[in-house]
Amino acid sequence: MASKMRVLIADDHAIVRDGLRAILEAQPDMEVVGEAAGGQEAVEKAWQLKPDIVMMDLAMPGMSGMEATRHIRQQSPEVKIMALTMHESDEYFFQIINAGASGYFVKGGSSAELVSALRTVGQGDVFLYPSMAKKLLGDYLTRVRTGKDRESFEGLTEREREVLRLIAEGRTNQEIADLLVLSVSTVQTHRAHIMAKLGLHSRTELVKFAIRQGIISLDS
């Protein structure tokens, strides 16, 4: 039997934590290993409990969910973060992805959508809330009309496209090396060439580019 996905819930409202716990514990493949009422507590419990995923509310007093995400990704890079927010905002979305989150879920979504989003992130993919996916698609169509993305993407070699897709999916250099039977240093070289050719400077920009190109799916 496969092991259950271990989830830490971080939200400053007890009633929200109770609701999320009830949803997750009703799933046969998930278990809640702990709760945190603030960003600092989330960082500490992520270190102690080593969950697979932290469900991270962004608007908490004290250390924000955004800052807590950065700390957790630095000290425990294997722990994935699913951001929870009330805001359907480009600014929030790209800030939290840049901080290291693998998903962005708007609290107006349904329980079924949330469970599906967690499974997506648990499998190593990036989850995009549907409304954000539509905004990114609109941005892509605008850029296609200018020809910018097509020209830059066609400048990549087949191997660079493979590496780009795996980076956008959230794979580590070691995972990419194992999958493509390359050395880690070769993967790092490919990554540097990709960023230089595409004029990208962060994983946020790379994920946006990969979504626009259809390298990673919008059908989360």
| Other Cβ atoms closer than 10 A to 216 | 20
Cα 153 to Cα 90: distance, rounded to the nearest angstrom: 23
The mean-pLDDT minimum among 49-63, 73-87, 133-147, 201-215 falls in: 133-147
pLDDT of residue 12: 94
Q: What is the dihedral of CA 163, 138, 70, 104, to 10 degrees?
A: -110
Token reading at 83: 């951001």
What is the helix (H) or strand (E) element at residue 128, kind and residue range? strand 127-128
**What's CA 76's distance to the chain center, in Å?**
15
In this structure, CATH architecture of domain 134-212: 3-Layer(aba) Sandwich (3.40)
* Per-residue model confidence as pLDDT tens digits over 6-44: 999 999 999 999 999 999 999 999 999 999 999 999 999
> Which among 42-56, 59-73, 133-147 has the top mean pLDDT?
42-56
pLDDT of residue 188: 83
Cα 34 to Cα 52: distance, rounded to the nearest angstrom: 12
pLDDT of residue 81: 93
Site of tokens 């007890």: 14
Domain locations in the chain as residue ranges: 5-128, 134-212
**What's CA 179's distance to the chain center, in Å?**
20
* Domains 5-128 and 134-212 in one fold: yes
Q: Which amino acid is at 181?
A: V
| Domain boundaries 5-128, corresponding CATH code | 3.40.50.2300
3-state secondary structure of 57: strand
User: Rounded to whole angstroms, what are the CA distances from 31 to 2, 21, 54, 147?
Assistant: 13, 8, 12, 47
More confident residue, 140 or 196: 196
If pLDDT is split at 50, 70 and 90, which confidence band does 148 have?
low
Give the strand pairing for 30-36 and 127-128.
unpaired
CB neighbours of 52 closer than 8 A, spacing ≥ 6?
5, 6, 7, 79, 80, 122
* 82 pLDDT above the threshold of 70: yes
pLDDT of residue 172: 81
If pLDDT is split at 50, 70 and 90, which confidence band does 89 have?
low
Cα 18 to Cα 7: distance, rounded to the nearest angstrom: 13
- For residue 31, list its beta bridge partners: 6
* 220 pLDDT above the threshold of 70: no
